[in-house]
Every structure is written in structure tokens, then in C-alpha cells.
Amino acid sequence: MADAPRDTLFDAPPMGDQERMVEAMLFASATPLTVANLAARMPHGCDPAEALAHLRRRYDGRGVHLVRVGDAWAMRTAPDLGFLMRNEVVETRKLSRAAIETLAIIAYHQPVTRAEIEEIRGVSVSRGTVDQLIELDWVRLGRRKLTPGRPVTFVVTPEFLDHFGLESARDLPGVAELRAAGLLDNRPPPGMGPALGEVDPDDPPPDQSELFAD
């Protein structure tokens, strides 16, 4: 008579071991991992979501934190210790004023079409500006809008959220915070800036405060 199958054949490893698996994968990964990514690599029956919750509590208050980046998770240096890493910066990329404004519009108004970006900025958006943001992996193409012509939309990426330490786009600062930080100043009234259709100048666009409207 054949032996009966063992009840423990598909038993999941203890939660402590699952935490160690998740910890190892997050430290080894160059990009944030989703719960689905983790589950696909772990033994049958594991619960990566619960392991993440335990791991996050275990790292609370330490030099490295477990942080959420969109729908994914990653290990990151504690914010107050970031100054220790400044010598590790290899490359600094400076965005043009046009790229910064375009990125801000996409972040605050996503999903947004090129025409909508141009309407808010008051000037044309050059292809090079959008290409630069896509090359940085901060912006990607979204779904086509259900309007005549089915224009493509733009949205920010998990890499953008990760770079700026945001869990989601809802964590972007509001108008009051931007004004308090001196990042939102008075702009010329409509009609005082460049005309609609003019290609990206370096001068600030008119009424840029619309950029950050709720």
C-alpha cells in the first residue's frame, strides 16, 4: 500500500523565513518589487503581503526603511540619513524650465494629453521635452483619451515617485505647501506672457498657478 501524501507537502515556510525571503529579494533588486513579483518567486502558500507588514515594522526607526512606491516596495535609506549618501551621487541631470513645468503638469493633472499640457503652459511642448522625461523613466504613455482623435495621455511612473520619495501622486505638495516653501510665486496675468503656440521659451509661462489647482 502506497504511503499517504504528507499533510505538510504544501505548507508554507514559517513567517520568519518568509520575512527573510522578502528582505533578500528587496535588497538584491535594482527596482521596487510588487507583491505579485514577490509571490511569484516564493514557495507555494507564502503570504508576501503579511511578510512585508512584519518587515516594515521591524525596520521602523532603523537606518534603512521599507517604503511603498506606487504598487511596489523597496528598501531605502532613512530620510534623515540621506546626507550621508551625497558622495555616492554619480550623475546629476539638470532639467530645463520647460521640462520641469511639463513634468509638474503631468504629475498634478495626470492622465493629461499634449494639447492639455500646452493649454495649461500657454506654449507649445516640444517633442524633445517629453522625450527627455520619458528617457528619465519619470513619464510614460497612458491610455488614450475617449475624445475625438483618441489622443494619447501621459502619466508619471513609479520611478518618478521613488525618486521624490512619494508613495503615490496624491502625496504631492499642495498649493499652501508650495507657497510656504517659496516654490509658487506670483505670475504675470494672462496676456502678459508669450502667445499660445510659441515654442518653449525659458521665461515663466503666464498664470502658472493653474498648474497646481486642486
pLDDT digits over 28-58, tens only? Answer: 998 999 999 999 999 989 999 999 999 999 9
> 0.75 exceeded by the pTM?
no
**Which run of H or of E encompasses 51?**
helix 48-59
* Closest to 198 (Cα-Cα) out of 121, 145, 94, 92: 121
Radius of gyration (C-alpha) of the chain in whole angstroms: 23
As to burial, measured by CB atoms within 10 angstroms (0-12 exposed, 13-18 middle, 19+ buried), residue 122 is buried
Query: b or e along 3-23 (b: 16 or more beta carbons within 10 Å of the residue's beta carbon)?
Result: eeeeeeeeeebeeeebbebbb
Query: Is 4's pLDDT higher than 90?
Result: no
CATH class name, domain 18-88:
mainly alpha
| Mean pLDDT in residue range 7-33 | 85
8 Å CB contact between 117 and 139 = no
Query: Which DSSP string do the residues of 14-41 spell out, in sequence order?
Result: PHHHHHHHHHHHHHH-SS-EEHHHHHHH
Residue type (1 letter), 134: I
pLDDT of residue 98: 87
As to burial, measured by CB atoms within 10 angstroms (0-12 exposed, 13-18 middle, 19+ buried), residue 195 is exposed
pLDDT of residue 10: 61
Kindly report the CA angle at 170 between 213 and 110, in degrees rounded to 5? Answer: 60
Give the separation between CA 169 and CA 70, rounded to whole angstroms.
8
Per-domain residue ranges for the chain? Answer: 18-88, 97-212
Looking at per-residue pLDDT, the higher value among 6 and 12 belongs to: 12
Encode pLDDT of 128-174 as tens digits. Answer: 888 889 988 899 998 888 888 889 999 999 888 888 888 787 888 77
pLDDT of residue 7: 44
Encode pLDDT of 123-135 as tens digits. Answer: 888 888 888 899 8
CATH fold for domain 97-212: Arc Repressor Mutant, subunit A (1.10.10)
Average pLDDT of the residues of the chain:
77
